[in-house]
Amino acid sequence: MPQRVPGKQPSVPSGAVLSPETQRQIQRLERRIENQRRKREQLEREWERLQQRARLQPTNALMRHDLERLEAAMAEVDAKIEEFHRRIQKLKGEPLEAKPPEEEA
């Protein structure tokens, strides 16, 4: 199961002066990140339940489909979290972190 959840970043770097609107945008994005993290945790719990069922009984096509769907949903949530972090960096005027080559494809 993928466990890649980006760490929480501070709201504003020390010494930075941001406009009130920019601060509001950053706060909204941080709330969206937290919501996505909660969604990711829920998906992980559902994934674990399915994995346990798969260990107790033969895995059928429907169960495999459900596992694949959950893995895709978790990857989508991770991508949203990363995008929100990039948007926060851009709002703060910080240099954007380069994506690893495998993610650029």
pLDDT at 3: 46
Whether 35 contacts 41, CB under 8 Å: no
18 has pLDDT over 80:
yes
Could you give the number of structural domains in the chain? 1
Does any domain span residue 5? no
Does any domain span residue 77? yes
Positive or negative, the CA dihedral 9, 93, 80, 11 is positive
Does any domain span residue 87? yes
Least confident of 45-54, 63-72, 94-103: 94-103
Host domain of residue 38: 20-93
The reported pTM is 0.67
Does any domain span residue 29? yes
Does any domain span residue 13? no
Q: Among candidates 97, 95, 93, which has minimal Cα distance to 16? A: 93
